[in-house]
Amino acid sequence: MINFNLPPVVGDEEEYIRDAIQMRKICGDGKYTRLCSQWIEEQTGANKVLLTTSCTHALEMAALLLDIKEGDEVIMPSYTFVSTADAFIMRGAKAVFVDIRPDTMNIDEKLIESAITERTKAVVPVHYAGVSCEMDTINNIAHKYGLKVVEDAAQGIMSTYKGRALGTLGDYGCYSFHETKNLSMGEGGALLISDKNNNERAEIIREKGTNRSKFFRGEIDKYTWVSLGSSYLPSELNAAYLYAQLLKAQDVYNDRMQSWHLYYEMLKPLSEKGLIELPKVPDGCVHNAHMFYIKTMNLEERTRLIYYLRSNGIGAVFHYIPLHSAPAGIKYGRFVGKDNYTTKESERLLRLPIYYGLKREQVEFICEKIGRFYM
């Protein structure tokens, strides 16, 4: 059986976790949390990075930082994971969905302006498959209308847009280190903050509404409850796991990239015959091989191909059911404009196995089976 995904293990995780245990420091914000945040700050150039318990929680923090309230509207694609919407809806906002671009499956930047009302507070671009949204256009629109931009960069670590790291292009960026992502800590994430004036508020929100982070840095002599907050800091045990991964991030990246390019080359003949479509990466975008997907003709063909691959021991899977068609999406959101691509393209998309350690022969085997299916 070739799994669709296996959580990344680089080999040094146990050593770092053991170190955290021996230091008798396993709650949050110790040595490993610091090392991880510093690594991400250096790698991305972000002004500040706070490690969080998940990307969902990083998004929730962003919603709190933006002071999202009852009646506010937040523009996002419908083709995304539930957390993109949940985080804002939990603060009372309405999710305003717009259509995606069929080439990248990302929000269609040209449709954002027509979805803006006087209630709109933010735009949440999702960088699907670690391929960037058209951020210059999105930032220009946000600037013109005084909106904030929160990047759902859950899949985007080590990807860039015009040379800049995903997650550093908007006001806030959110990473995920869930076990299904390129780099992991089991469950976890990070909030990237672009304006240093927001650093302190973010620390307070992450520490149950207290200024405890300042206290630990010795900047104040006691800490107090100063605002609304929750507990968004991960354990040192998780951070130690992540630190081991970050030190091997380039190996993980190269390994996934090799599989990605091998898929691309081997499946090219099928795409040239017009039987399937391959992923497209726009100029200026460098991705991170988070995902390899193909598009079949339609839902029926995809269902047959999934079944065929499964019967050959290959874990190929579809992805998001558009949020606007889900019960919570109907209740808490609305779709603006026409659904030209969201539903249609989501029904054709099929993700192939890709993970750190996937072997060349396995990719070859998968491509050979796909070729056979279309013979």
Ligand X SMILES: *Cc1c(COP(=O)(O)O)cnc(C)c1O
The residue ranges that bind ligand X (CB under 6 A) are 54-56, 80-81, 83-84, 126, 152, 154-155, 176, 178, 189
Strand partners, 77: 98
Minimum CB distance to ligand X, residue 212 (Å):
23
The C-alpha atoms of residue 189 and residue 355 are separated, in whole angstroms, by: 19
Cα of 350 vs its chain's centroid, Å: 18
Minimum CB distance to ligand X, residue 229 (Å):
18
Minimum CB distance to ligand X, residue 242 (Å):
12
User: Measured from the CB atom, is 156 or 229 closer to ligand X?
Assistant: 156
Strand partners, 351: 293, 317
User: Measured from the CB atom, is 210 or 329 closer to ligand X?
Assistant: 329
User: Measured from the CB atom, is 152 or 347 closer to ligand X?
Assistant: 152
User: Measured from the CB atom, is 107 or 202 closer to ligand X?
Assistant: 107
User: Measured from the CB atom, is 316 or 323 closer to ligand X?
Assistant: 323
User: Measured from the CB atom, is 58 or 276 closer to ligand X?
Assistant: 58
Q: Closest by alpha carbon to 104, among 255, 285, 281?
A: 281
The C-alpha atoms of residue 346 and residue 321 are separated, in whole angstroms, by: 7
Minimum CB distance to ligand X, residue 117 (Å):
25
Contact 272, 373 (CB under 8 A): no
State the distance between the two ends of the chain, measured CA to CA, in whole angstroms: 23
User: Measured from the CB atom, is 178 or 348 closer to ligand X?
Assistant: 178
Minimum CB distance to ligand X, residue 326 (Å):
15
In the three-class reduction of DSSP (H, G, I as helix; E, B as strand; rest coil), residue 249 is classed as helix
Q: What is the DSSP string of 308-358?
A: HHHHTTB--B--PPPGGGSHHHHHHEEE-S--SSHHHHHHHEEEEP--TT-
What the block records as the tokens of 126 is 């999702």
Nearby residues of 158 by Cβ (< 8 Å), 6 or more positions away: 43, 130, 165, 182, 249, 253, 288
Minimum CB distance to ligand X, residue 183 (Å):
12
Minimum CB distance to ligand X, residue 176 (Å):
3
Q: Closest by alpha carbon to 159, among 139, 178, 183?
A: 183
